[in-house]
């Protein structure tokens, strides 16, 4: 029986998968497969939704800067600002953070004017910059999905990839591997992939020339299904608590406030305050939830510099930020099998960097020159990673 053949099958309907799918040309058939019933259910729907161009390792900063025009032109950004605060005992850490985040030291009195609930008796240092902005992550995601549909692509939810098989050249169906449309030679010696998808109504198989692995915390599981060497991805939990605004305070114009060495942060959100313990506890891939003790410890670090104690948490949640050993995202064709394209390891930057990351994946599939410099493309490539399978064959 002839199976449906598509050019690019994207696994994962988070910001990574949708940004890549939306950036592919309308001459390619593209399908995004998402196991949950809605896109953005995992990390992409649980973020702090900040744009901070100076946050993260150098290749991430290149991607974030290259994404800024997309965010600004579509009206996703709104002013927020970021304040760093430290206790009198944290002088060295405070100075290091100021340098890394390009922040300007301000008098403690000025910090208290901006955030009147800060206790000047408890903070020794403060710094500020206005380049951190709120980012409308929900609209960003919905607009990528709209752009995908406008180009004739499909987003399927409630569909889980459960198996993958490489197809050999002898399994070619008529009309398959439209090499005129695709970058010549990229698909390697085989035709592509047969991907098994489980839905509520049963199982089905799709054939695809390229697979983009944008499965977030599950990206190494997808590699194992495909018989591709995993990249050592480590999901790490980050939790959030939503608190009522401290009594008597209108928090809407407060900046994001961060403790030194990112031990906690707080951010206004629709008249309330989001406080994160900035936890980074390693976890297996899962539907993450906040741990009460971790939240309580984080809230205590926040309270240590504020006047008003926390009396009530209205809501809490957690999401997984996934990293490889060097903390840099993994974007590009697998060095052993270029028809398997990695789009993983976005860590804590996958919202803000998604437009340029998605365009990079599309450029690498179609053979267009990437918009970012070659050294950054190499620094993001899976080819940089320590891979015992490659070293054994070298």
Residues engaged in binding ligand FAD (CB under 6 A): 11-17, 33-36, 40-44, 46-50, 160-161, 214-218, 222, 238, 240, 319, 321, 346-352
**The tokens of 248 are what?**
């008597």
Minimum distance between the CB of residue 235 and ligand FAD, rounded to whole angstroms? 9
Beta bridge mates, 104:
128
Minimum distance between the CB of residue 221 and ligand FAD, rounded to whole angstroms? 7
Name the strand (E) or helix (H) holding 319: strand 315-323
Minimum distance between the CB of residue 218 and ligand FAD, rounded to whole angstroms? 4
Helix ranges, the chain (H): 15-23, 58-73, 91-100, 108-114, 137-150, 219-226, 292-303, 354-366, 374-380, 388-393
Q: Which of 158, 165, 25 is nearest to 7 (CA)?
A: 25
Residue closer to ligand FAD (CB basis): 182 or 241: 241
Do the Cβ atoms of 20 and 290 come closer than 8 Å? no
Give the Å distances, CA to CA, from 102 to 78, 105, 113, 271, 385: 20, 10, 21, 28, 30
Residue closer to ligand FAD (CB basis): 45 or 177: 45
Do the Cβ atoms of 308 and 302 come closer than 8 Å? no
Residue closer to ligand FAD (CB basis): 112 or 198: 198
Do the Cβ atoms of 7 and 30 come closer than 8 Å? yes
Minimum distance between the CB of residue 255 and ligand FAD, rounded to whole angstroms? 14
Residue closer to ligand FAD (CB basis): 259 or 319: 319
Collect all residues with Cβ–Cβ distance below 8 Å to 269 and sequence separation of at least 6. Answer: 242
Exposure class string for 347-386: b at 16+ Cβ within 10 A, else e: bbbbbbbbbbbbbbbbbbbbeeebebeeebbebbbbebbe
Minimum distance between the CB of residue 46 and ligand FAD, rounded to whole angstroms? 5
Residue closer to ligand FAD (CB basis): 71 or 90: 71
Give the Å distances, CA to CA, from 24 to 33, 159, 334, 359: 15, 21, 18, 8
DSSP 8-state code for residue 144: H
Minimum distance between the CB of residue 214 and ligand FAD, rounded to whole angstroms? 5
Minimum distance between the CB of residue 180 and ligand FAD, rounded to whole angstroms? 30
Residue closer to ligand FAD (CB basis): 49 or 360: 49
Is 99 buried (19+), middle (13-18) or exposed (0-12) by CB count in 10 A? exposed
Minimum distance between the CB of residue 12 and ligand FAD, rounded to whole angstroms? 3
Q: Which of 218, 175, 227 is nearest to 334 (CA)?
A: 227
Residue closer to ligand FAD (CB basis): 34 or 97: 34
DSSP 8-state code for residue 132: -
Residue closer to ligand FAD (CB basis): 217 or 324: 217
Residue closer to ligand FAD (CB basis): 298 or 335: 298
Minimum distance between the CB of residue 210 and ligand FAD, rounded to whole angstroms? 16
Minimum distance between the CB of residue 129 and ligand FAD, rounded to whole angstroms? 16
Residue closer to ligand FAD (CB basis): 192 or 348: 348
First-to-final CA distance of the chain: 40
């Amino acid at each position: 029986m002839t199976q449906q053949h598509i050019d690019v099958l994207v696994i994962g309907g988070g910001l990574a998968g949708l940004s890549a799918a939306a950036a592919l040309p309308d001459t390619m058939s593209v399908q995004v497969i998402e196991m949950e019933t809605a896109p953005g259910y995992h990390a992409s729907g649980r973020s702090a939704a900040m744009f901070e161009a100076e946050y993260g390792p150098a290749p991430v900063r290149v991607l974030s800067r290259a994404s800024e025009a997309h965010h600004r032109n579509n009206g996703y950004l709104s002013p927020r600002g970021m304040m760093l605060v430290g206790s009198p005992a944290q002088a060295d850490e405070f100075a290091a953070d100021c340098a890394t985040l390009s922040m300007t030291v301000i008098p403690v009195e000025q910090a208290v004017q901006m955030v009147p609930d800060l206790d000047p008796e408890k903070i020794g240092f403060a710094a500020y910059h206005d380049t951190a902005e709120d980012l409308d992550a929900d609209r960003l995601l919905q607009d990528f999905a709209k752009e995908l549909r406008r180009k004739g692509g499909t987003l399927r939810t409630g569909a889980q990839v459960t198996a993958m098989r490489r197809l050999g050249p002898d399994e070619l169906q008529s009309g398959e591997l439209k090499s005129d449309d695709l970058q010549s030679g990229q698909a390697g010696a085989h035709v592509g992939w047969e991907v098994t998808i489980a839905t509520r109504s049963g199982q089905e198989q799709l054939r695809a020339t390229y697979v983009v692995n944008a499965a977030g915390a599950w990206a190494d599981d997808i590699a194992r299904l495909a018989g591709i060497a995993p990249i050592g991805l480590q999901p790490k939990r980050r939790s959030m608590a939503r608190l009522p605004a401290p009594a008597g305070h209108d928090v809407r114009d407060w900046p994001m406030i961060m403790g030194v060495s990112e031990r906690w942060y707080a951010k206004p959100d629709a008249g309330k305050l989001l406080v994160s313990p900035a936890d980074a506890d390693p976890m297996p891939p899962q539907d993450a939830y906040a741990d009460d003790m971790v939240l309580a410890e984080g809230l205590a670090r926040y309270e240590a510099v504020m006047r008003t104690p926390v009396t009530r948490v209205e809501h809490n949640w957690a999401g997984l930020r996934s990293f490889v050993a060097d903390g840099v995202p993994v974007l590009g064709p697998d060095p052993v099998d270029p028809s398997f394209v990695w789009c993983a390891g976005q860590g804590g930057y996958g919202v803000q960097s998604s437009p340029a990351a998605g365009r990079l994946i599309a450029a690498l599939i179609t053979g267009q020159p990437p918009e970012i410099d070659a050294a950054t493309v190499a620094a993001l490539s899976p080819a940089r990673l320590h891979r015992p399978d490659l070293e054994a064959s070298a």
